Amino acid sequence: MLEVWFSGFASLLHPEVIAFLILGMGIGLFVGVLPGLGGTTALALLTPVTYGLEPVAALALAGGVMGGVPMGGAVTAILLNTPGQTANAVTCLDGYPLAQQGKAGLAIGAAASANAIGGIIGTISVLAVLPVATDLVLAFGPPEFFLIALLGLVLVATTTRGKMLRALVAGVFGLMIASIGYNDVTGGQRFTFGIEYLWDGVHLAPALVGLFAVAEMMHLSIKGGTIAKSDSDIQVTGMAAGLLEAFKHWGTILRGSLIGTAVGAIPGVGVTVASFLSYSMTVQASKDPDSFGKGNIKGVIAPEAAINAKDCAALIPTLAFGLPGGAEMAVFMGILILHGMQPGPLILMQHQSEIYSLIWALTASCIMASFVGLMFARPLAKLTRIDTQLLAPVIIALSLVGSYAIDMVIENVILSAVFGVIGYLMIRFDYPRITLVVALVLAALAERNYHQSMLMGDESWSIFFTRVPSAVLVVFVLFSIASPFIRAYWRKPAAVGATSG
Partner 1 sequence: MKRVFGTPVVEYVPALVMVAVTIAYLATAYTYSEQARLFPVPVGWLMLLLLALDLVSRTKTPTGEALTRLLNPAAEAEGAESRFPLLRQLSALLWVAFFTAALVLIGIMYAVPLYIFGSMRFHGKKSYLTSLITAVCVTVFTWLLFGFALQVELYPGMLFSEF
Q: Amino acid letter at 356?
A: Y
Candidates 10, 132, 185, 496: give the one binding partner 1 (CB under 8 A). Answer: 185
225 is a site residue for partner 1 (CB under 8 A) = no
Q: DSSP character for 283?
A: H
387 is a site residue for partner 1 (CB under 8 A) = yes
Closest to partner 1 by CB, 199 vs 247, is 199
CB of 24 to partner 1, least distance (A): 15
86 is a site residue for partner 1 (CB under 8 A) = no
392 is a site residue for partner 1 (CB under 8 A) = yes
CA distance 40 to 62: 10
CA distance 70 to 320: 24
Candidates 424, 433, 453, 474: give the one binding partner 1 (CB under 8 A). Answer: 424
102 is a site residue for partner 1 (CB under 8 A) = no
If DSSP states are collapsed to H, E and C, what string results for 207-270?
HHHHHHHHHHHHHHHHHCCCCCCCHHHHCCCCHHHHHHHHHHCHHHHHHHHHHHHHHHCCCCCC
CB of 185 to partner 1, least distance (A): 6
Candidates 45, 319, 331, 413: give the one binding partner 1 (CB under 8 A). Answer: 413
Candidates 1-9, 135-143, 247-255, 402-410: pick the segment binding partner 1 (CB under 8 A): 402-410
Site for partner 1 in 306-365 (CB under 8 A): none
> Which phi and psi angles does 189 have, rounded to 5°?
-100, 145
CB of 396 to partner 1, least distance (A): 6
Contacts 24+ apart (CB under 8 A), 1-4: 1/131, 4/352, 4/353, 4/356
Closest to partner 1 by CB, 129 vs 409, is 409
CA distance 163 to 431: 8
Candidates 14, 120, 129, 163: give the one binding partner 1 (CB under 8 A). Answer: 163
> Which phi and psi angles does 331 have, rounded to 5°?
-70, -40
- Binding string, residues 51-70; x marks residues near partner 1 by CB under 8 A: -x------------------
397 is a site residue for partner 1 (CB under 8 A) = yes
398 is a site residue for partner 1 (CB under 8 A) = yes
Candidates 180-188, 231-239, 295-303, 370-378: pick the segment binding partner 1 (CB under 8 A): 180-188
Is residue 318 within 8 Å of residue 333, measured between CB atoms? yes
289 is a site residue for partner 1 (CB under 8 A) = no
222 is a site residue for partner 1 (CB under 8 A) = yes
Q: Distance of CA 424 to CAs 35, 215, 220, 420, Å?
A: 16, 5, 10, 6
19 is a site residue for partner 1 (CB under 8 A) = no
| CB half-sphere exposure, 13, CA atoms < 13 A | 5
Site for partner 1 in 438-477 (CB under 8 A): 446-447, 450-451, 454
Candidates 404, 452, 469, 471: give the one binding partner 1 (CB under 8 A). Answer: 404
CA distance 194 to 181: 10
Closest to partner 1 by CB, 110 vs 211, is 211
- Strand 189-190 and strand 181-182: pairing? antiparallel
Candidates 4, 124, 129, 172: give the one binding partner 1 (CB under 8 A). Answer: 172
Q: Distance of CA 191 to CAs 181, 416, 441, 444, Å?
A: 6, 19, 18, 15
498 is a site residue for partner 1 (CB under 8 A) = no
Q: How many residues of this chain interact with partner 1, rule: CB under 8 A? A: 64
Handedness of CA 106, 108, 111, 113 (dihedral sign): negative
If DSSP states are collapsed to H, E and C, what string results for 288-303?
CHHHCCCCCCHHHHHH
Binding site for partner 1 (CB under 8 A): 49, 52, 161-166, 168-169, 172-173, 175-176, 179, 183, 185-186, 188, 190-191, 214, 218-219, 221-224, 387, 389-390, 392-394, 396-398, 400-402, 404-405, 408, 410, 413-414, 417, 420-421, 424-425, 427-431, 446-447, 450-451, 454, 484-485, 488
